[in-house]
């Protein structure tokens, strides 16, 4: 337990004298620190902040530069795609079979396997659905082509098939042309 | 720039502004507390130059540790504690901090009463008397008589025994009496 304080009259006078000082500095400036104190304090407390600001400015500048380059390349005109299709695309089939398993059991009309083990329980299998046909016509609900717009086929195979069909029908219906005479040409 | 032109902030505004890194709040805090805190550290220093070193070190700690301030008391009280601790750590770095400066007659008292004499002396004069004390006497007298610490607290803060604190206080009072007496007679 702390013993009670014994204050001397001298103690009281010193305390009273310092407590009664006004908040304003004295006229002769004995209780005013020099300006260099604040300068040194500022140097000490602003150093980390300035360092942080430099790094922040560097990062911000890099981000702006990257964004500017990205915007510039986005604004450049894009080259139009080549009009001639590549040979690889012409040879590709329109659709690919879903099931490539040769040994798979045949599927009946209900979509269940025809070959079942004798003691096995019937299992529910989802019937295989045919793959969705690739159609040139727009699907119901989709937007219609603009009037005068060129009809676009889904792929080259479809287009070739249609062209072949048109050529066959036109050849059958059209009268045959006479062959050029041999030796009659003037070369 | 005078104090009249400075914008006045309350404690909460000062704290939040300093934590944001606002230079205007940092300046306002220094303008508001530099004079009273300079008076605090002047009591522990031997001269104005040493007091300015203590003040600078104390304010750097104030800005650095501002996030530790809890608004349970006044900001001025918190800053004052930092200043006192800074002054004490500054004194502890001195090699002859608690050196005994010889004996003098402890009962020599040529004054009529201490009150009569010291009431005629202004704070500046009393401050100059304090600064003439040896560092150990000065620290113990300040902590006990003016800042209100007990001998137990002083012993803990300065790393001395309670008996040493009491003897340093006794010698400080006698030393001051002699200084004041000489000043009064002259």
**Could you write out the DSSP letters of every residue in B48-81?**
HHHHHHHHHHHHHHHHHTGGG--TTS-HHHHHHH
Phi then psi for residue B41, to 5 deg, are -75, -25
Percent of chain B with pLDDT over 70: 79
B 8-27 near A (Cβ less than 8 A): 21, 23, 26-27
What confidence tens digit (pLDDT) does each residue in B121-159 have?
A: 688 888 998 988 888 999 999 999 999 999 999 999 888
In this structure, what CATH number is given to the domain that contains residue B36? 1.10.1740.10
Among positive and negative, which fits the CA dihedral B144, B149, B150, B153?
Answer: negative
- Residue pair B84/B40 in contact by the 8 Å Cβ criterion: yes
Residue B13 has pLDDT above 80, yes or no: yes
A81-101 core/surface letters (b: 16 or more CB in 10 A; e: else): eeeeeeeeeeeeeeeeeeeee
Closest residue in chain B to residue A6, using alpha carbons only: B145
* Domain range enclosing B70: 11-92
B101 occurs within a structural domain: no
Contact B35 A15 (CB under 8 A): no
Burial zone of A3 (CB within 10 Å; 0-12 exposed, 13-18 middle, 19+ buried): exposed
Contact A33 B59 (CB under 8 A): no
B159: left (phi over 0), alpha (psi -120 to 50) or beta: left
Q: What pLDDT is recorded for position A91? A: 56
Give CA–CA dist B111/B178, Å, rounded.
9
B170 occurs within a structural domain: yes
Are residues B120 and B78 part of one domain? no
- Residue pair B52/A33 in contact by the 8 Å Cβ criterion: yes
Q: What pLDDT is recorded for position B123? A: 86
B87 occurs within a structural domain: yes
Are residues B77 and B29 part of one domain? yes
Are residues B177 and B127 part of one domain? yes
Contact A13 B39 (CB under 8 A): no
* pLDDT band at residue A33 under the 50/70/90 scheme: very high
- The total number of residues shown for chain B amounts to 186
- Residue pair B41/B55 in contact by the 8 Å Cβ criterion: yes
Neighbours of B99 (CB within 10 A): 12
Number of domains comprising chain B: 2
B80 occurs within a structural domain: yes
Q: Is A41 on the interface with B (CB under 8 A)?
A: yes
Contact B38 A32 (CB under 8 A): yes
Q: What pLDDT is recorded for position A160? A: 75
- Residue pair B61/B82 in contact by the 8 Å Cβ criterion: yes
Are residues B88 and B16 part of one domain? yes
What confidence tens digit (pLDDT) does each residue in B93-131 have?
A: 876 676 655 544 433 443 344 444 444 568 888 899 898
Are residues B18 and B87 part of one domain? yes
Are residues B15 and B82 part of one domain? yes
Our CA-based measurement puts residue B113 at a distance from the nearest CA of chain A, in whole angstroms, of 9
Are residues B83 and B146 part of one domain? no
CB-based contacts of A9, cutoff 8 Å, min separation 6: B113, B114, B115
Are residues B122 and B83 part of one domain? no
Q: Is B86 on the interface with A (CB under 8 A)?
A: no
Are residues B176 and B130 part of one domain? yes
Could you identify the residue written with the tokens 């045959």?
A176
B 40-79 near A (Cβ less than 8 A): 42-43, 48, 51-52, 55-56, 59-60, 63-64
Among positive and negative, which fits the CA dihedral A7, A12, A18, A23?
Answer: positive
Q: What is the DSSP string of B4-55?
A: TTSPP--HHHHHHHHHHT-HHHHHHHHHHHHHHHHHHHHHHSSSHHHHHHHH
Q: What letter does residue A80 receive in the DSSP assignment?
A: P
From the list B63, B64, B152, the residue facing A2 with the nearest CB is: B152
Q: What pLDDT is recorded for position B111? A: 38
Q: What pLDDT is recorded for position B39? A: 94
**Of the given ranges (A30-34, A78-82, B61-65), which has the lowest mean pLDDT?**
A78-82
Contact A10 B145 (CB under 8 A): yes
Q: What pLDDT is recorded for position B54? A: 96
pTM comes to: 0.57
Are residues B121 and B79 part of one domain? no
Phi then psi for residue B154, to 5 deg, are -65, -45
Give the mean pLDDT of A88-100.
54
Q: What pLDDT is recorded for position A83? A: 63
Are residues B59 and B21 part of one domain? yes
Contact A31 B118 (CB under 8 A): no
């Amino acid at each position: 337990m702390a013993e009670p304080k014994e204050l001397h009259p001298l103690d009281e006078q010193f305390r009273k004298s310092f407590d009664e000082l006004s908040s304003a500095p004295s006229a002769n400036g004995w209780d005013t620190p020099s300006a260099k104190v604040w300068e040194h304090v500022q140097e000490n407390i602003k150093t980390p902040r300035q360092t942080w600001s430099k790094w922040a400015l560097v990062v911000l500048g890099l981000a702006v530069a990257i964004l500017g380059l990205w915007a510039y390349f986005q604004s450049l005109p894009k080259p139009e795609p080549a009009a001639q299709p590549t040979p690889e695309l012409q040879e590709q089939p329109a659709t690919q079979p879903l099931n490539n398993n040769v040994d798979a059991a045949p599927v009946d009309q209900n979509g269940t396997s025809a070959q079942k083990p004798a003691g096995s329980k019937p299992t529910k299998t989802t019937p295989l659905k045919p793959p969705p046909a690739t159609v040139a016509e727009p699907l119901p609900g989709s937007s219609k082509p603009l009037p005068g717009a060129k009809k676009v086929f889904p792929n080259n195979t479809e287009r070739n098939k249609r062209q072949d069909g048109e050529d066959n029908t036109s050849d059958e219906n059209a009268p045959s042309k006479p062959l050029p005479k041999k030796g009659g040409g003037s070369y | 720039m005078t104090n009249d032109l400075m914008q006045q902030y309350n404690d909460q505004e000062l704290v939040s502004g300093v934590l944001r890194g606002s230079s205007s709040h940092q300046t306002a805090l220094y303008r508001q507390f530099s004079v009273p805190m300079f008076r605090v550290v002047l009591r522990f220093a031997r001269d104005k130059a040493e007091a300015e070193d203590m003040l600078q070190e104390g304010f750097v700690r104030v800005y650095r540790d501002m996030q530790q301030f809890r608004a349970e008391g006044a900001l001025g009280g918190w800053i004052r504690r930092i200043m006192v601790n800074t002054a004490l750590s500054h004194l502890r770095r001195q090699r002859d901090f608690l050196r005994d400066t010889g004996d003098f007659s402890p009962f020599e008292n040529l004054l009529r009463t201490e009150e009569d004499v010291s009431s005629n002396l202004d704070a500046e004069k009393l401050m100059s008397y304090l600064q003439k004390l040896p560092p150990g006497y000065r620290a113990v007298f300040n902590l006990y008589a003016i800042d209100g610490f007990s001998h137990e607290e002083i012993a803990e803060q300065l790393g001395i025994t309670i008996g040493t604190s009491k003897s340093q206080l006794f010698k400080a009072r006698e030393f001051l009496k002699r200084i004041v007496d000489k000043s009064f007679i002259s």
